[in-house]
Amino acid sequence: MTKASDATTPPLGGTDDLLQVFQLGSGPARDAVRGRIVRLGPALDQAIGGHGYPAPIAGLLGEALTLAVLLGGMLKYEGVFTLQLKGSGAVRLLVADMTSAGAVRGYAQFDGALLDAAMAASDAAAGDPDGTRPSGKRVAALMRESVPRLLGQGYLAFTVDQGVHAQRYQGIVDLRGPTLTECVHHYFAQSEQMRARLKIAVGAVQGPGGVSGWRAGGIMIQRMPDADPNAAARGSTAAVAVGPSEDDAAWTHARALMESATDAELLDPGLASDRLLWRLFHAEEVHAHPPQPVRAQCRCSRERVRLVLLSLSPDSRDELAEDGILAVTCEFCGARYPFSTAELAAQPDAPPDAPPDPPPDARGAP
C-alpha cells in the first residue's frame, strides 16, 4: 500500500477509535473512489454503555453512531453532523451525532414492552418461539431486520450544521429496507449528487481478559463525480453534478471489494485499518490518509441548560419544577443540572442571541 503525499503524520497508536480517509485507483482513475474507514472500540462502548440499554437498542445505537462517523465526512468545516431516527415501533427516537473534532454521543427512547414483543416475533420467525438460542444470535437476528422490527414507520434524517461557515443542510428519507445502513443506501440512490455505499458491523465482542465491550467497524466508499470517465469522454473538464453510469468499472470493482469485508474483519481488534484496507483493496492502489481519533464526549453544560431554561416563561418554568427545583437531565450523557426557580427568576432574561435549542424534554439538554 502506498501513502498519500500528505500522509506524513505518523499513525496513532493502537487500532481503535480511529477514522481514516482513503483513495482508490491509480493513473487516470486516481481518486475516482474515495472512502472512509472507522474502527470503534472503547469510544463506542462508552457512548453506548453508560445508558444501560438492552442489547438490541445498544446495537441499533451503535450502528447509528458508526453511520454518523462515516457520514460526518459531509462536514467540510467545524461543525456537527446529526443523525436522527423517528419510528412508530419499540424505538420512537434515536439521535447520534459527531463533531468535526471527532466527539460522538447518542441516545435512544424506546418502549420496553414493544421491544420484548419485537424480540418474540423475531424468535418465532427464526423457528425458536421459546428464545432458546444463545442471546448473541437472537440479538443479531433482530438487528438484521432492525428497521421493520424495532422502528416500523418513520424516517431517518441527518443535519450538517457548520455554524456561520455554511448553510445548514438537511437530508431525509423514509425508513425502508431491513437496516439503517440500507435506509442510507436508499437515500443515496434517490440523490443525484452522490453515489456511495457503506458496510458496517456492530457487536458485543469479548476482549482480552474476557470482558465484553461494544465494537464497530465500517467502511464507506464514494464515487467522486468529477472523476467520472463519461464526463471526460464528453470532453467536459468541469465537475459534473450527476453520478457516473452503472457500467463504471472502477466503481463496480470498488463496491465488490468492499462488500467482501466480513463482520469478523470489521470487528477484529487485532486487525489495524491499514492492514484491513490492504487486504480488501490491494487489487487497486490504496492511498490512506493519517487516522483521526474518535472519542465519546458530550457537549452539554450547565450554562447552556441555564440559557434554555431562561428562554422559557416564568410560568412554564414553574410548571416544570418540582418543589421549586427544575432539574434537567442530559439524555446523551446522563448529567443532571438542577436549578431553583428562584435562582432563575432572579436572573436577567436570556440574551436575544441565545442558542435556538429545542426544549430540554424534546432532545435532552443541549
Is 47 a residue that touches Zn ion (CB under 5 A)?
A: no
Q: Which is nearer to Zn ion, 35 or 364 (CB)?
A: 364
Contacting Zn ion within 177-216 (CB under 5 A): none
Pairing of β 80-87 and β 91-99 = antiparallel
Near Zn ion by CB under 5 A: residue from 22, 214, 332, 339: 332
Shortest spacing between CB 366 and Zn ion, in angstroms = 9
Q: Which is nearer to Zn ion, 81 or 187 (CB)?
A: 81
- 308's CB contacts (< 8 A; 6+ apart) are 328, 354, 355, 357, 359, 360, 365, 366
Q: Which is nearer to Zn ion, 105 or 199 (CB)?
A: 105
Shortest spacing between CB 358 and Zn ion, in angstroms = 14
Site residue total, Zn ion (CB under 5 A)? 6
Q: Which is nearer to Zn ion, 258 or 298 (CB)?
A: 298
Whole-angstrom Cα distance, residue 177 to residue 146? 9
For 161, the grid coordinates are: 450544521
Near Zn ion by CB under 5 A: residue from 80, 220, 254, 330: 330
- 131's CB contacts (< 8 A; 6+ apart) are 119, 120, 123, 138
Is 333 a residue that touches Zn ion (CB under 5 A)?
A: yes
For 84, the grid coordinates are: 436522527
Q: Which is nearer to Zn ion, 217 or 364 (CB)?
A: 364
Is the CB of residue 24 less than 8 Å from the CB of residue 301? Answer: no
Per-residue binding letters, 114-153, with Zn ion (x by CB under 5 A): ----------------------------------------
Is 107 a residue that touches Zn ion (CB under 5 A)?
A: no
Contacting Zn ion within 267-326 (CB under 5 A): 298, 300
Shortest spacing between CB 102 and Zn ion, in angstroms = 17
Per-residue binding letters, 334-363, with Zn ion (x by CB under 5 A): -x----------------------------
Q: Which is nearer to Zn ion, 294 or 330 (CB)?
A: 330
The amino acid at 241? A
Q: Which is nearer to Zn ion, 24 or 298 (CB)?
A: 298
Shortest spacing between CB 222 and Zn ion, in angstroms = 31
Shortest spacing between CB 47 and Zn ion, in angstroms = 11
Per-residue binding letters, 150-179, with Zn ion (x by CB under 5 A): ------------------------------
Which spans of this chain sit near Zn ion (rule: CB under 5 A)? 298, 300, 330, 332-333, 335
